[in-house]
Amino acid sequence: MSIFFYWLLIAQAALLLGFAAAEQGRGLIGRRLAWLSFALILAGFGACMAGAHIGVPLLYDGAPGLGALTPSGLLVFNLGYLLLGTGLMVLPAAAIVTLLTPRWEGRQDRLSAVGFALFAWAGSLIVSGFAALYTFLPGTRWALGLGVFPENHGTNWHIVFHNMHYLPLMATVILWYVLVQALTGVKSVFGHRFSKIVFAMYLVFVPPTSLYHMFLEPDLPGAVRVTGSLLSLFVSVPTLTAFLIIIASLEMYARGQGGRGLFGWLRLLPWRHPAMSALGVGVLSMGLGIVFAFVLIQERLAPLLSDTFFVPGYFHFFTVGTVTLTLLAALTVMLPALGERPLWRPGLLRWMPWLVFAGLLVFGADGAVAGYLGVPRRVIDVAYQSEAPMLWQGLMLVIAVGGAVMASALAVFAAGVGASLWRAGASAPAAAGLTVNWAGGPAAPGAAAWIGPLSVLVIVAAMYLFTAIGFELMPRIWCMSWSP
């Protein structure tokens, strides 16, 4: 899990700097500061990996209660997070200075929608860095003999943990916005100001979401649990709004290029580019993830499902299908452009996201079913010495097959993206023949953009369907699966 966190944060930091430099077209200001920050983050990664193997193996949360048996391991592990937090607070400064310098020099009146989004993204990384320092500094002081035992570490970790995996949704939506412009030339038909408002909504709605787990304990009053469910819904507000902006803008411009029918305009999108395939899978995965997330956060279902395999099942739609593939899509555009080299085997790579999605559907759907059947998570063997239902083991075998397909395709996609950096040959436009440019053509006047609203309607209907399954069928399924 720590490796996954570092992947999310390092990729976000690199893409933030890259797009900030490209936004102004004059390169990155403060490169030494950026390199220093990356060095701190990489040193933090090394310390976390080392600390997890000193004495009692620590989990990704670095629980002091477990680390108390070997304070030296806890100290090294916590130092890793402190280095990470420091790097995350320092690195975005280079992006912020790069974005604001044109205004300071009088060459720009206001930030563009993309510039504003990158500025907000930089701020969110700084907040994550500060939260990491605030959480792991008390444990470090205790391990050094300079402070008291951090009794509230678990509460602080919950806040950091949920910020670390909700704020990447903000980065994902920003990257969708940037990549759609890079692949098609399309900008928002709703104007820059409305886009800025949507990006700013993340800074308002996401931080309270970090508290929702604390409000869903079964022994709390019903009103408090309902509040927890509402808090967890907040993060979907800016995400779905940004999705509607992007899809509606694409649909209107595609219809201006001759797209016909409810879905016919989708054929005009640049599907030959692997980044477009990754974006398509990312959007579909987000829809499925939101459906299952809406089921999980309901105050009556949360206590029943939170410790089952339902959580890994639905969560991979976000972590792999949405966030990871979007980050790789951005690297698919950025890395070849930096090296001025063509993308490595785009004809092969464009199919990898769909193969990832196929494995993800098996993993996620069977994971959700396993959760409904009560299969626990965070256990090595779900057989319970052959006392558990046989159906559990069959489901986990199918989940393993789906996970293997998903991981293999993802590895090929990531390796292909990385290969674009060192591939030999003459320099060529990185996206030659793989993109379209609709910037010169207007959006179809008076065109109706239906796909976005219909998608939200499908998400809501699916949420009700799976909620009904949860409320009506779970007790019966449990009785059937455990009956002799």
Q: What is the mean pLDDT of residues 420-429?
A: 61
Between 469 and 64, whose confidence is greater?
64
pLDDT exceeds cutoff 60 at 39: yes
Torsion angles phi and psi, residue 357, rounded to 5: -65, -40
Q: Helix 153-184 and helix 192-209: axis angle, to 10°?
A: 160
pLDDT exceeds cutoff 60 at 429: no
Say what the pTM is.
0.87
Query: Whole-angstrom Cα distance, residue 188 to residue 175?
Result: 14
12-16, 184-188, 232-236, 279-283: which range is least confident on average? 232-236
pLDDT exceeds cutoff 60 at 220: yes
pLDDT exceeds cutoff 90 at 223: no
Q: In this structure, is residue 450 part of a structural domain? A: yes
Report the pLDDT value the prediction gives residue 214, as an integer from 0 to 100: 61
Report the pLDDT value the prediction gives residue 337, as an integer from 0 to 100: 80
148-152, 403-407, 425-429: which range is least confident on average? 425-429
Query: Whole-angstrom Cα distance, residue 307 to residue 378?
Result: 8
Beta carbons within 8 Å of 305's beta carbon, 6+ residues apart:
295, 296, 311, 371, 372, 470
Q: Please name which of 376, 400, 356, 244 lies closest in space to residue 311, comparing C-alpha atoms.
A: 376
Between 66 and 142, whose confidence is greater?
142
Q: In this structure, is residue 112 part of a structural domain? A: no
Q: In this structure, is residue 210 part of a structural domain? A: no
Q: In this structure, is residue 438 part of a structural domain? A: yes
340 falls in which pLDDT band (50, 70, 90)?
confident
156-165, 178-187, 252-261, 385-394: which range is least confident on average? 156-165
- Could you give the 3-state DSSP secondary structure of residue 308? strand
Report the pLDDT value the prediction gives residue 62, as an integer from 0 to 100: 78
Q: Are residues 295 and 470 in contact, defined by beta-carbon separation less than 8 angstroms?
A: yes
228 falls in which pLDDT band (50, 70, 90)?
low
157-161, 194-198, 283-287, 359-363: which range is least confident on average? 157-161
pLDDT exceeds cutoff 70 at 440: no
Report the pLDDT value the prediction gives residue 251, as an integer from 0 to 100: 87
pLDDT tens digits along 249-268: 888 888 888 778 888 888 88
Average pLDDT over all residues of the chain: 83
Write down the residue that tokens 């452009």 correspond to: 337
Query: Whole-angstrom Cα distance, residue 6 to residue 128?
Result: 12
Domain limits for position 422: 219-484
Between 294 and 20, whose confidence is greater?
20
Torsion angles phi and psi, residue 376, rounded to 5: -80, 160
Outline where 185-324 has alpha helix (H): 192-209, 222-234, 236-256, 274-296, 302-305, 310-316
1 falls in which pLDDT band (50, 70, 90)?
low
Q: In this structure, is residue 43 part of a structural domain? A: no
pLDDT exceeds cutoff 60 at 81: yes
Which sign, positive or negative, has the C-alpha torsion 178, 179, 180, 183? Answer: positive
Query: Whole-angstrom Cα distance, residue 382 to residue 483?
Result: 17
Q: What is the mean pLDDT of residues 455-483?
A: 70
Report the pLDDT value the prediction gives residue 83, as an integer from 0 to 100: 95
Q: In this structure, is residue 472 part of a structural domain? A: yes
Report the pLDDT value the prediction gives residue 476, as an integer from 0 to 100: 58
pLDDT tens digits along 65-80: 777 777 888 888 889 9
- Nearest 5°: the CA angle 72, 75, 79 is 145
CA 367 to chain centre: 19
Report the pLDDT value the prediction gives residue 127, as an integer from 0 to 100: 85
Q: In this structure, is residue 138 part of a structural domain? A: no
- Could you give the 3-state DSSP secondary structure of residue 151? coil
Q: What is the mean pLDDT of residues 161-171?
A: 76
pLDDT exceeds cutoff 80 at 357: yes
pLDDT exceeds cutoff 60 at 483: no
Report the pLDDT value the prediction gives residue 37, as an integer from 0 to 100: 94
361 falls in which pLDDT band (50, 70, 90)?
very high
Question: pLDDT above 70 covers what percent of the chain?
Answer: 85
304: domain CATH number is: 1.20.210.10
Q: Helix 2-24 and helix 71-104: axis angle, to 10°?
A: 10
Report the pLDDT value the prediction gives residue 207, as an integer from 0 to 100: 65
pLDDT tens digits along 294-337: 888 776 777 778 888 999 999 899 999 999 999 999 999 988 88
**In this structure, what DSSP letter does residue 449 have?**
-
Domains held by the chain: number: 1
59-73, 167-181, 360-374: which range is least confident on average? 59-73
Q: In this structure, is residue 147 part of a structural domain? A: no
Cα-trace Rg, the chain: 23
pLDDT exceeds cutoff 80 at 142: yes
pLDDT exceeds cutoff 60 at 409: yes
